[in-house]
């Protein structure tokens, strides 16, 4: 399989880049954080979506060196922004293969030290489905990440058919409402009720809540009315290269 073959060489050929999607604090409209998202610039095929190559990387084990590179690149970028006077919350997506590794936490700590990143500035995103299907491994990773002072976000929340009981037992700092629930907000009464419920639930459990897939002004107004903590989506900004971030952090909404 060609893509799989090319993937093996892509790190060495420096074909991966990270883009960063800003997210705002809803109450003041300020950009206070970014999510790092990996892209593959294939020399012949152009840009390939992570939806296409992350699953292949997971199957082949290539996700391990790739994830190490992603983490290092993101932490290093955090330091550069810090030198420029910006202290952003940096969200990094985790793969299950990564957290299964025994040395995972040691690696995180070593990289935080190397780039002088305060652990609380990093927010690791773990999807609800990874949590459901790998509960023991995930719970241990979540606990250890929080023990060293990092934050943990439950990603794609609402898509995993997990019971509310899970949410209570998972010591996460943040819940990210999956964008599938946002699509028809505020026109669809059911989705509206679901999003309101997740926002209130997060509040009761002392978690921050971030809505994903915010594509319109109406969606953002709705989130404001509901006192949702954070928002991310194309209406705020698409994922952008790192050099575009400083300008975006200066504008207020
Ligand atoms: O950015 P985008 O739409 O193209 O991302 C598609 C999917 O790929 C999302 O589910 C996202 O979580 C995942 N993804 C993007 N970047 C990373 C990454 O750095 N690590 C992992 N494990 N998944 C990522
Ligand atoms: O699963 P995860 O939340 O990590 O996915 C991030 C993905 O969501 C990225 O591929 C990003 O490009 C995409 N994304 C971010 N904002 C929006 C949005 O407002 N609408 C849609 N359709 N996709 C978005
Ligand atoms: Mn994510
Ligand atoms: Na998500």
Per-residue pLDDT averaged across 206-229, rounded?
98
- Give yes or no for residue 209 having a pLDDT over 70: yes
- Check whether 108 has a pLDDT greater than 80: yes
Q: Give which of 99, 149, 146, 147 is closest to 126, Cα–Cα.
A: 99
Residue 144: per-residue pLDDT: 98
Closest ligand to 74 CA? 1
**Tell me, what's the pLDDT at 2?**
87
95 lines ligand 2 (CB under 6 A): no
Ligand 1: residue whose CA is nearest its atom 10: 51
Task: For domain 24-34+60-238, give the CATH superfamily.
Answer: EAL domain (3.20.20.450)
Ligand 2 within 6 A of 156 CB?
yes
49 lines ligand 1 (CB under 6 A): yes
Atom number, ligand 1, closest to the C-alpha of residue 50:
8
CA of 84 to the centre of ligand 2 (A): 27
Model confidence over 190-207: pLDDT tens digits?
999 999 999 999 999 999
pTM value?
Answer: 0.97
* Mean pLDDT, range 21-28, rounded to an integer: 98
Q: Which pLDDT score, from 0 to 100, does residue 185 have?
A: 97
Report the DSSP beta bridge partners of residue 38: 18
29-49 mean pLDDT:
97
By CB atoms closer than 10 A (0-12, 13-18, 19+), residue 250 is: exposed
Atom number in ligand 2 closest to CA 127 = 1
Nearest residue (CA) to ligand 2, atom 6: 37
Please give the distance, rounded to the nearest whole angstrom, from the Cα atom of residue 176 to the centre of ligand 4.
Answer: 7
| 138-177 pLDDT per residue, tens | 999 999 999 999 999 999 998 887 777 778 888 899 999 9
Q: How far is the CA of 182 from the centre of ligand 2 (A)?
A: 12
For residues 111-115, give the mean pLDDT. Answer: 98
The domain limits of the chain are: 24-34+60-238
pLDDT at res. 84:
96
Report the pLDDT averaged over residues 216-243.
98
């Amino acid at each position: 399989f060609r893509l799989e073959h090319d993937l093996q060489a892509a790190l060495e050929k420096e074909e991966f880049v990270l883009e960063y999607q800003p997210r705002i604090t809803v109450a003041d409209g300020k950009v206070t954080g970014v999510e790092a998202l990996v892209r593959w610039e294939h020399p012949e095929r152009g840009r390939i979506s992570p939806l296409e190559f992350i699953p292949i990387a997971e199957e082949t084990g290539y996700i391990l060196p790739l994830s190490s590179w992603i983490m290092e690149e993101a932490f290093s970028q955090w330091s550069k922004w810090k030198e420029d006077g910006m202290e952003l919350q940096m969200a990094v997506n985790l793969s299950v293969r990564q957290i299964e590794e025994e040395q995972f936490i040691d690696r995180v700590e070593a990289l935080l030290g190397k780039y002088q990143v305060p652990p609380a500035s990093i927010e690791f995103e773990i999807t609800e489905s990874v949590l459901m299907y790998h509960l023991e491994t995930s719970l241990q990773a979540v606990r250890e990440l929080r023990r060293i002072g990092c934050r943990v976000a439950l990603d794609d929340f609402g898509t995993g058919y997990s019971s509310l009981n899970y949410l209570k037992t998972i010591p996460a700092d943040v819940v990210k409402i999956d964008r599938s629930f946002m699509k028809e907000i505020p026109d669809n009464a059911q989705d509206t009720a679901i999003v309101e419920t997740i926002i209130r639930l997060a509040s009761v459990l002392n978690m921050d809540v971030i809505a994903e897939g915010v594509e319109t002004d109406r969606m953002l107004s709705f989130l404001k009315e509901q006192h949702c903590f954070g928002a991310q989506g194309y209406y705020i900004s698409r994922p952008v290269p790192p050099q575009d971030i400083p300008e975006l952090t200066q504008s207020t909404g």
